[in-house]
Amino acid sequence: MRLEFSAGAIIYKIEGGNVKFLFLISPKGDSDIPKGHIEKGEDSYSAAKREIKEESGLDVNFIPYFKYVNKYFFYENKEKILKTVTVFIAKVSGKSRVKISWEHKGYKWLTFEEAIKEVNYKDMKVLLSAVNDYIQRYEAIGQLNKEYRNLSDLNGWNLSKRFVPGEGPLNAKIMLIGQAPGNEEDKQQRPFVGRSGKLLDEMLKKSKIKRSEVYITSAVQFFPPANRVPTAKEIELCKPFLEKQIEIIKPKFIILLGSVASKATLGIENIDENHGKTVKKEGITYFITYHPAAALRFPEIKNRMYEDFEKFKKMTEAHS
């Protein structure tokens, strides 16, 4: 059996408030996305970028975290072949000009509904549905973050002016909610990249959870000066944005790191009494544990937190 590997992307733009996908038209009249063989020395990412440039003339950047891998068998001259196709998502501006290669006779931009009717293969319909769902989340989180950033323009604002967005796949099964960015997070504008983040990474790794597969955010996404605890007013001001993130991500599990996160979501403040416990709310399983910052200060809390993550690991394995 021969193995073949290809890579490409579904390219979209926003036109008149609608998402439209780019399809290239073959000489036979079939519609397909830009994709092609992964050549020697390439990975799927670089191969997809090259193929897109060659077939559409577009230079693109891919939407972070999305990667769809499809495998199927087919026969060529009686030889069985296993094909692996990796597909990314790329967004272009409405003014981007498509310049097709000699391999195609044209192109068209289709809405999701038009594309579903156009494509013939079930695998492509499944892919389009997954991509369309992810794009809806991506656009929604982008708009939410834009509105969230504007909070810093309010009179009497006592937090950092720099917004630290959530990070991770927008279709993640696991979501982590912390307290607020620290000084290092404020500088890099990324969640959990300081000392607490390193400890969190260690705990995730021991629990066999990949950081790249979870969505990480905070109850308050602006750094409180002097690393103070956010006030009740600040937490309440940010709460609608946290709730909207949960609505967009739709995780199966949410790990609450510390009392600020647990109070903002469940109204629970006492972590000593509630760590390692779960609460089901609106179809989501919330898991309560300590904040890594507390674990860095107190060895006993660090041990409890390790035990909590081991418990969470067993719980998720039982649900898989």
CA atoms of 166 and 310, how far apart (whole Å) = 24
Structure tokens at 57: 């003339």
The residue type found at 257 is: L
Question: For every one of its 320 residues, what pLDDT tens digit does the chain have, with 9 covering 90 and above?
Answer: 888 999 999 999 999 899 999 999 988 888 899 999 999 999 999 999 999 999 999 999 999 999 999 988 888 888 898 989 999 999 998 788 999 988 889 999 999 999 999 888 888 999 999 999 999 999 999 999 999 999 999 999 999 999 999 999 999 999 999 999 999 999 999 999 999 999 999 999 999 999 999 999 999 999 999 989 999 999 999 999 999 999 999 999 999 999 999 999 999 999 999 999 999 999 999 999 999 999 999 999 999 999 999 999 999 887 76
Contact yes or no for 178/192 (Cβ under 8 A): yes
SS3 state of residue 289: strand
The residue type found at 133 is: D
Structure tokens at 97: 């000009």
DSSP single-letter state for residue 75: E
Which CATH code for domain 2-138? 3.90.79.10
Contact yes or no for 46/72 (Cβ under 8 A): no
Which pLDDT score is estimated for 272? 96
- What residue spans in the chain does CATH classification 3.40.470.10 cover? 156-319
Give all strands (DSSP E) within 92-156, no chain letters.
106-110
- The sign of the torsion formed by the CA atoms of 169, 171, 172, 178 equals positive
Which pLDDT score is estimated for 98? 93
Nearest in space to 251 (alpha carbons), one of 207, 281, 218, 208: 281
Which pLDDT score is estimated for 125? 93
Name the CATH superfamily for 156-319.
Answer: Uracil-DNA glycosylase-like domain (3.40.470.10)
CA atoms of 90 and 116, how far apart (whole Å) = 19
The residue type found at 126 is: V
Helix axis angle, 232-249 to 122-149, nearest 10°: 170
Q: pTM (2 decimals)?
A: 0.94
Give all strands (DSSP E) within 210-275, no chain letters.
214-218, 253-257
Which pLDDT score is estimated for 320? 67
Nearest in space to 98 (alpha carbons), one of 26, 8, 11, 16: 11
Query: What percent of the residues of the chain are helix, what percent strand, and what percent coil, each to the nearest 5?
Result: 40, 25, 30
- What residue spans in the chain does CATH classification 3.90.79.10 cover? 2-138
Nearest in space to 287 (alpha carbons), one of 303, 320, 265, 302: 265
Contact yes or no for 19/10 (Cβ under 8 A): no
Contact yes or no for 160/181 (Cβ under 8 A): yes
CA atoms of 33 and 24, how far apart (whole Å) = 6
Structure tokens at 185: 């997070």
283 CB-near residues (< 8 Å, 6+ apart): none
8 CB-near residues (< 8 Å, 6+ apart): 33, 34, 35, 36, 48, 51, 52, 85, 86, 87, 88
